[in-house]
Structure 1
Amino acid sequence: MQKVSLGDSKLQSSRLAYGCWRVARTGDIQQDLKTTREAVTAALDSGYTLFDHADIYCHGRAESAFGEVLRENPKLRKKMIIATKCGIRFCDEPPGAPARYDFTAEHIIRSCEQSLQRLHVEYIDLYQLHRPDYLMDVDEVAVAFASLHKSGKVREFGVSNFRPSQLSMLQRAVQQKVEKNIITNQVEISLAQLAAFEDGTLDQCQAMNITPLAWSPLAGGLLSDGATEILPGQKSYKPAPIVEAIDALAKERNTSRTTIAIAWLLKHPTKIIPIIGSTSPERIRAAAAAAEIELTREEWYRLLIAARGEPLP
């Protein structure tokens, strides 16, 4: 699989990333470990090098299961770029507290150290803030980042679900205190969710050399072989006309619906990295085929118009 740089860093990522959100859903340690082991093996064999985590995925069990796979075979670490996220806190942590976001320096540093322990690694390649904290103090965040970088616990930093204005504000503080740049913004991007094309997110990524990571690139499965679990915000999506256009192009190209939907993202000049979240080894391998296809501009716009549901102005 081809590789691209993450922002202006020295990190070279595969064109697709593997998302570990679902690898430890059952709570059965042995079953979760089996699922994780099979998913990681399929991803590595297919050329994936970027593995995306968050401290809240499966309440920490996803990182723990992944870490156990690394403990079993430490040589795998050199083949990976490991990314994880922090900043979302569940309700009743501590008892009586509401669900909230937390970008205090104390929480960022503590969360990172806990992720390192669960993942059984000495450093995290890419550490991201998960969802914007309404009380974000960018200088405090930058101090936490500087501490983590100086201690060797984190190589690079990114954000997730940030608006362009929020990213710009944080970028200035990080440049001053850490002398590094924010290199990624992980947002929902798919043919069913075009906001990043219209709200300035992808414009900013291209202008500032920030790599967009696309979560839910298949709209929770609505654009592939069917959704088994979608997020509340995805229930209003209307995939039927999009799928019809994807299928027509897939037939012309003699390939799959999934391949076309992902290839559509890969065409964008910001070098979007779609995050594949299936735990099925077959689907993980099949998604990798998208990296070998380049759509024409005409094909790309045909799908965009279907996704918009109306002609271009």
Structure 2
Amino acid sequence: MIEPTFLSVPELAERWGASSRQILEHGINRALPILFAFEGLAFDQADRWLMSHGAHDEAMELEAKTKSVESSEAHLRRNAAGNVDEFTRLSQEEVVALRQATNANQDRIRELSDLLEQRDRTRLDYRFMGYMRAPPRVLWELMQNEETPFPHLAFHPLSDVHLVSIDGRTVWEGRMMTLEPDVTGAWKGRLRISDLLIPWASVKALEAAQKSLEGEALTNDKNATKPVSRMKAQTAAILAEIARLGHDPKALPARSPGKSGVRAEVSKAMSERPDLFSTNSFKKAWEELRALGEIADDKSGAQ
């Protein structure tokens, strides 16, 4: 059986017997990565020079210099032809000074023109055709209205999205991208719930984690006097956190240089569960999952 790569929000809602709103809530809570297809130009926030408004000052300077040169050249021609009055007539020294200023402006015009032409060529290297991760504001607007203007901001699909506190507010932080039309100028006007996609691997990982938790609860119901297996509770919590991060536990991505791996991210989250994990128990639970084949060999960086 060929498995899908993605499920749309309506398809996942039907699979889970839930509403589309409930699926979007999972996305807002980061339990599932919710993506949308995008074709155009995509820039990191550090690439401001390449964004549509990035060369505003240079473009304005080029326009001003061009007008200045045109005005100076016209004045020099009129002066040479004697078509000036006593108030606008230039002396020889003034002619030389104006010619030097005009030449300097022309040099600057060539410099700016070359710079902007190179920028336009470089922008074409940022063409993107793939998927972007919808930010929480977009998901919230879709929950309210079922459609929203196509976003100009989104998270890169491979971004490690996490929560941070800024001025007392909890916000998402990750690799934010600025989206723009391609050279064709084509731009999709609206984004609808039916356009949203969830990776099948994330769906399976979350379902597996939920199944593990339900199995643990069922065991507790059948034998209330039997102590709950702490190891099983720990491994279920780890699988649930991996799913929340949007990864397939059996296909963990390799750790990017200079960044925390999946294992480190999960370990950090589990350190906030002193009721379940002690100093060394996370490592033991992780190794237990590896031994059982529930997670891939650790390529995400040791913790």
Q: Which TM-score band (shorter chain)? A: under 0.3
Larger radius of gyration: 2
TM-score when normalising by structure 1: 0.25
Higher relative contact order (CA 8 A, sep 6+): 2
TM-score when normalising by structure 2: 0.26
